Chains A and B, each alone.
Chain A
Amino acid sequence: MLKCKDKEIVVPGEVLCEGMDFLPSHGTYRDDKVIRSSMVGMVNVDGKVIKIMPTSGRYFPRRGDTIIGRVFDITMNGWRLNINSSYPAFLTMMEASSQFIKKGSDLSRIIPMEGYVVGKITNVTGQNLIDVTLKGPGLRKLDGGVVINVSSSKVPRIIGRQGSMIKLIKEATGCFITVGQNGLVWLSGEAENEVVAVKAIELINSDGHKSGLTDQVKKFLEKETGKKLEV
C-alpha cells in the first residue's frame, strides 16, 4: 500500500509504502514490511517499482558523458581536471590534441592552469580514475565566455526534451552555450545577452523540479529580450 504520492519530495527514513506489493529500486530500501527512502528526492512510481530521483548531489561520472572541467594541476604528461565530482579527471597529452605534442614541452601553453575544457569521459576505472579526451566533435579548450555552475541533477531539464529548452535560450539570446553533464555550463555572446542566458539557466536550476517550467522560462526570455519565441 502506497504511503506517498508520485512526484512527492521525500526524505531519508520516510516510509514510502507498506506491504510487499512494491519493489525497492534506486534511492529506496526494504525495512522488513515497509520500503523507506534513503535520500532526499522525488518519488517515482513506475508500476510496481518505486525509486527516488535525487534532487541534489554531486555529479556521478559516467563513460560517454560530455563534461566541462577546470585545470587545477599540470603534470609531466597531462592535466588534472576538477569536474565537480568526488574525484578529479585526467587528460593526457595524447588525448588533448590530434596534433603532435613534443614530450617535455610546456603543457601550460596548450591549456593553462585554471583553464576550462569541454571533454568526453572515455573511461571510469574501478579505482575511480576518470579519463577524459578532447578528441571529438565539439570537444575543445574553451576560450572567453563565462562558466557557471548548476546542479548536475538539473542538466536534463536545462537541455530539455531533444534539446528544446537549451535551443529556446540560444535563440532568445544568440549565445553559444555548451552544457556539461557535470553541471558546468559555458556561455559566450554579447554581454547583456550572456546575463539573460545565465539568469534563465539559474531559473531552471532553482525551479527545475516544478511543472510549467518551459512556459515560465519562455515568458522570462520574452520579457528580457523582447523577442517572440516559439517553443
Chain B
Amino acid sequence: MYKKRLDGRKASEFRKTSAEVGVIKNAVGSARFQMGKTSAYAAVYGPREIIPRHKMSAKSGVLRCNYNMMPFSGMGDRVRPGNNRRSTEISYVTENALLPVLDLKRFPNSGVDVFIELDQTDAGSRCAGITAASLALADAGFSMKDLVVAVAVGSVDGTLVVDLSYEEEDYDAPVADIPFAIIPSTGEVTLLQMDGKLSQETLMKAYDLAKKAADEIYDIMKSALKKRYD
C-alpha cells in the first residue's frame, strides 16, 4: 500500500501551481502553466488562413494543436525535437479536449493554431499543455463556453492520488495513470486516457478527485486571466 507520497503530499493534493497569460507578445493569446516542475507554454495564432487550403472547412474554423517537448525539457537525456508518435497523439487528444468549449463556427474557412511547448517536464505534461492552451485561447479572446482544466489522477499500488510526479509514475508497484480534462461548469470530461489497470468503481472515484482538483485549478486560471487587467 502506498501510504505516504514520495514528496509528502496528501492524496488529493496537486503540486504547486502557477499560471500567467500574455507571456508571448507575438501571439494573439498565450499562457504559461506550471504544475510542480512540469511547465508548459501555449501560443495561439489566428483565426487565419491556413495552408494546406484543403484542411479548412466552409462550415467552421479548424483547430490545430501542436504539442512539443523542448530538447532540454526531459530528466537529463536530450529529447529529440520534432514530431513523433507520442507528440502526434497528444496533439490530437489536445485538439479534441478543447473543441467542445470553442465556438469556431463564426470563423469558416480559417484556422486557429495552438502551439504547446514544454520547457520542463516531470509527468503530467499533456495535462499542463491542455490547461495552458485553454488559458491561451481565452487570452486570445475566443468565444468559449468555459475553460478546460486538465489534471492527472493515478492509482499507485492501490492508492488513488492526484497529479502524479514522474517518480510516482515510475514507482515499483502497479501504477495506473489517468489524465483527465474537465469542463468545470458541467463536469463533462473532454479527455480521458488510461495507462494501467483499474476497476470501473475506482475510475469513478478517480473522476471525483479529478473534478475537485479541476475546480481549484479553475480558480487559479481565473486569477491569471484577470490579473492581466489589474
A interface list, Cβ under 8 A from B:
9-14, 27, 29, 31, 36, 38-41, 54-58, 86-88, 127-128, 153, 209
Contacts and interface: CB of A to CB of B under 8 A. Distances in A.
Given A38-B145, A88-B49, A12 B101 contact: yes
A12 B21 CA distance: 14
Interface string B188-230: 0000000000000000000000000000001001100110010
Interface in B140-195: 140-147, 183-186
Where chain B touches its partner, the secondary structure class is loop
Interface stretch (B1-9, B79-87, B105-113): B105-113
Number of chain B interface residues as a range: 20 to 34
B185 A36 contact: yes
Nearest to A210: B229
Where chain A touches its partner, the secondary structure class is loop
B58 to A, nearest CB: 8
Q: In this complex, which of B46, B61, B142, B184 has the most chain A Cβ atoms within 10 angstroms of its Cβ? A: B142
B129 interface: no
B47 A39 contact: no
Interface of B: 28-29, 46-49, 61, 101, 103, 107-110, 138-147, 183-186, 218, 221-222, 225-226, 229
Contact of B146 (A12, A27, A56): A12
Contacts of A36: 145-146, 185
B141 A29 contact: no
B141 A11 contact: no
